[in-house]
Amino acid sequence: MTKKPSRAYPASVEELTPIEARAEHARLQEEIAAHDRRYYQEDAPTISDADYDALRRRYEELERVFPELATAESLTKKVGAKPSEKFAKVNHAVPMLSLGNVFSDEEVLEFVARVRRFLGLGESPLRFTFEPKIDGLSCSLRYEKGHLVQAATRGDGYEGEDVTANVRTIDEIPQRLRGNHSDVFEVRGEVYMTHKDFAALNARQKELGKTLFANPRNAAAGSLRQLDPKITASRPLHFFAYGWGETSALPANTQLGVLEALRRYGLPVNPLTTLCENAEDMLAHYRAIETQRATLGYDIDGVVYKVDDIALEERLGFVSRAPRWAVARKFPAERATTILRDIEIQVGRTGALTPVARLEPVTVGGVVVQNATLHNEDEIARKDIRIGDTVVVQRAGDVIPQIVEVVAEKRPNGAKPYQFPHVCPRCGSAALREIDEKTGEADVVRRCTGSLVCPAQAIERLKHFASRNAMDIEGLGDKQIEFFYDEGLIKTASDIFALAEREAQMSPRLAEREGYGETSVRNLFAAIEARRSVPINRFIFALGVRHVGETNARRLARHFGDFESLRETARDAATGSEARARIDSIDGVGPAVAEALHDFFAEPHNERELDALLKQITLEPMPAVASTSPVSGKTVVFTGALERLTRDEAKAQAERFGAHVAASVSKKTDLVVAGPGAGSKLKKAAELGIEVITEDEWFKRTGQG
């Protein structure tokens, strides 16, 4: 899922004081670096392209108005993110840099004028190539004497990941170039996945109960960056060449000429690449491809303009992390107009009632959209969304459809304001909005109160119980759980461990049902058996107690040590009791968690189910905390872009060494581990005199080399 940036900025950078600008620049640097890591390393962005671009524009504007902020550590001088430790590294002989972005006709015209001014061309002819900007994963292919010898991802622009074995499985990439070519030729291009292939891949993922890919870009990146080339080979990847890196000789003196040579060599080049004689051509081609975008069959997120004459490119050179001779024009988040046919209420595992818009199918950004999120009842009321309305739909970040606004003048006669249900549509129980005891404000989410009788919650709880971060039962995905629930084979979590026994009494047997076979059934039962012994923190998380996520599950497991201690304390933790005080004393566990634990463990139905579950499984203790480690008992804060660990890995590692990980720097902080891009937290540590070390120093201090 994508999300919006976490705050609004002052209207004008010019209005900021130098102190305010430095503080905001530091905050943005940390936030952008984290998004870069999630996008480039983890193939799991949590923000839309449009919102990311807004962060970048604000960051660059700060440096324009306050030049002293543009230090050597500035993100304007960096590209992408550090390559993953999973792959061997490849140093790019010629850096794989990024492109500057523009977003309007005026900015395109200014780019052309800027190039002319730099070169002193006046009104002399100046041609630009025009090409679609493929939304995929950048890749460099090194050919020596015509043979493919190495392939690498962009990485941070200077060092990428060696994906040679995986690239060799892509049919469109030749192992040997055709015709005459230089001895060394590095081809730069984009690995991508078509809409058709993406839909088929996700359909297979769903059948297998595996995680679905959010979009074709993530699917392509995740497929190329597999440790097992066989997995890459099973994925339908494609490639478009758009440029070059190191080469002993170029086959032409223009961009278009080189691309034509690459096509002769046997490399795929986008057929929509063309030559623009002037700025008017550039704008006209942009408008034309904008209307074709939905019919291309693959995702593009803009277009790229490049000076065609390579000699002029060399004169123009580079500025910061981008060439002066090229620019990307990004598309705005794409919108379309359609009709809202109905509003359906979905019930989640915590009883949350979530409204979903059912739309007249419409193509948005090359994808047929039939559903869109409506968030909650307050959002429906604020936008005055009614069934039958004509609405503007936007795919936020080209991923999640949402309704932006209602076209009021097209509202049908008699359309009535939508009345959000006050009872659960699945079980008829009351659906209430919780009231915050401190503020007196109602929660934006309305929840079903019939958690023990509501079938929607039962199915969602079972899905959560078996999910990857909980019990991690491979092969027991959403589709399988829904089937077993409907068949009456699994109604509670404990039923999962009796599935083999119950299946033996089925007629026809499971292996004879469509979508199953002897091997898949055997593998499923083996996966269930393998999870009869699990770490206690996973089990606590799997129970689906409200407010108890993975972090709180670890905290509870470490504090209580065994499950029965937690169970007995939570059951007795009525408000004002000693047991409640004990839970409240756990660092990081607040009153809402304590209340949820008491409600869960004091419920007799849950007690009986827990007894049944614990007869089926064995709970393993969490790995022992290293009480004698140099950081045991210390409060640690990680900040900046960590290069050897993900943030989750760093946190888990610190906890294993007996440290407490905090989100912010305070007087209680003992140690700050700072990576590149560390901002306000680093400044705060300096003000408080707190020790700051690098990631490498963290590894040395904890005895990991």
Whether the per-residue pLDDT at 291 is higher than 80: the answer is no
Say if residue 365 is in the same domain as residue 504: no
Rounded Cα distance between 543 and 520, Å, is: 26
Q: Residue 266 — very low, low, confident or very high, per pLDDT cuts 50/70/90?
A: very high
Residue 592: inside a domain, yes or no?
yes
Exposed, middle or buried, 634 (CB in 10 Å: 0-12/13-18/19+)?
A: middle
| Total residues found in the chain within this entry | 705
557 vs 562: CA distance, rounded Å: 7
Q: Please tell me which residue, 248 or 211, carries the higher pLDDT value.
A: 248
pLDDT tier at 1 (50, 70, 90 boundaries)?
very low
In-domain check, residue 419: no
> Can you give the CATH number for the domain in which 51 is found?
1.10.287.610
Give the residue, 15 or 567, on which the prediction is more confident.
Answer: 567
Q: Which amino acid is at 128?
A: F
Count of beta carbons in the 10 Å neighbourhood of residue 11 = 7
What pLDDT, on the 0 to 100 scale, is given for residue 202? 86
- What is the per-residue pLDDT for 426? 85
Which residues are 336's β-sheet partners? 393
Looking at the fold, whether 193 and 266 belong to one and the same domain comes out as yes
Structural domain ending residue among the three candidates 531, 561, 576 = 531
Confidence bin at 7 (pLDDT 50/70/90):
very low
Q: Is residue 438 part of a domain?
A: no
| CATH number of domain containing 295 | 3.30.470.30
Does 379 lie in the same domain as 324?
A: no
Provide the CB-side half-sphere exposure for 315 (13 A, CA).
13
pLDDT digits (tens, 9 = 90+) for 399-448: 578 898 998 888 999 999 999 999 989 888 788 887 765 677 888 899 88
Which of the two residues, 73 and 270, has the higher pLDDT score? 270
Q: Which residue has the tokens 């032409």?
A: 252
Are both 201 and 308 inside the same structural domain? yes
Specify if 437 maps to a domain.
no
133 classed as catalytic: yes
Do 68 and 125 share a structural domain? no
- The answer to whether residue 449 is domain-embedded is no
Q: What is the DSSP letter of 68?
A: G
Residue 684 domain-assigned (yes or no): yes
Catalytic residue among 4, 82, 89, 133: 133
Of the listed ranges 54-58, 133-137, 262-266, 530-534, the one predicted with least confidence: 54-58
Query: Are 183 and 299 contained in the same domain?
Result: yes
Confidence of residue 452 (pLDDT cuts 50, 70, 90): low
In the numeric block, the tokens 């026994």 are attached to 501
- Residue-wise pLDDT for 514-551, tens only, equals 778 888 889 999 999 999 999 999 999 999 888 888 88
> Which residue would you say has higher pLDDT here, 293 or 104?
104
Percent of the chain with pLDDT over 90: 37
Q: Kind of pairing, strands 128-134 and 300-307?
A: antiparallel
pLDDT > 60? residue 250 = yes
- CA 486, 490, 492, 496 torsion: positive or negative? negative
pLDDT at residue number 381: 94
Last residue of a domain, one of 277, 300, 330: 330
Tokens of 657: 């060494």
The answer to the question of residue 630 being in a domain is no
Of the candidate ranges 104-113, 272-281, 325-334, the one whose mean pLDDT is the lowest: 325-334
Residues 57, 109 within the same domain: no
Give the H/E segment covering residue 322.
strand 322-323
652 shares a domain with 556 = no
State the average pLDDT for the chain.
85
Judge if 269 and 127 occupy the same domain: yes
Which of 112-121, 400-409, 675-684 is most confident? 112-121
Predicted local distance difference test score (pLDDT) of residue 515:
74
Same domain, 114 and 199: yes
Contact 532, 549 (CB under 8 A): no
Q: What is the DSSP string of 399-437?
A: TEEEEEEE-GGGPPTT-------SB-TTT--BEEEEE-T
Backbone angles phi, psi at 91, to 5 degrees: -85, 125
What's residue 4's pLDDT?
43
> Does the structure show a pLDDT above 70 at 2?
no
CA distances from 606 to 276, 351, 486, 531 (A): 69, 16, 22, 21
Residue 222 — φ and ψ, nearest 5°?
A: -65, -35
- Mean pLDDT confidence for 614-633: 80
Domain-terminating residue out of 330, 346, 373: 330
Question: Does residue 8 surpass a pLDDT of 60?
Answer: no
C-alpha pair distances (Å), 248 with each of 140, 143, 174, 186, 558 = 16, 11, 20, 9, 60
CATH number of the domain bearing residue 472 = 1.10.150.20
Joined tokens for residue 44: 């799991």
- End-to-end distance of the chain based on CA atoms, in angstroms? 37
- Under the banding of pLDDT at 50, 70 and 90, the label for residue 398 is very low
- Specify whether 178 is located in the same domain as 268: yes
- 400 in Cβ contact with 1 (< 8 Å): yes
**427 in any annotated domain:** no
| Average pLDDT rounded to a whole number, residues 386-402 | 79
Domain count, the chain: 6
3-class SS at 229?
Answer: helix
The C-alpha atoms of residue 586 and residue 379 are separated, in whole angstroms, by: 36
Q: Is the predicted pLDDT of residue 27 greater than 90, yes or no?
A: no
Confidence (pLDDT) at 619: 93
DSSP 492-553: SHHHHTTHHHHHTT-SS-GGGSTT--HHHHHHHHHHHHHTSEEEHHHHHHHTT-TT--HHHH
List, as one string, the DSSP characters of 635-703.
EEEEES--SSS-HHHHHHHHHHTTPEE-SS--TT--EEEE-TT--HHHHHHHHHT-EEE-HHHHHHHTT
**Pair (222, 291) in one structural domain:** yes
With cut-offs at 50, 70 and 90, classify the pLDDT of residue 82.
low
Question: Distances from the Cα of 572 to the Cαs of 389, 566, 568, 581, 614, in angstroms?
Answer: 51, 10, 6, 11, 20
Domain span at residue 45? 13-77
Note the pLDDT of residue 243. Answer: 95
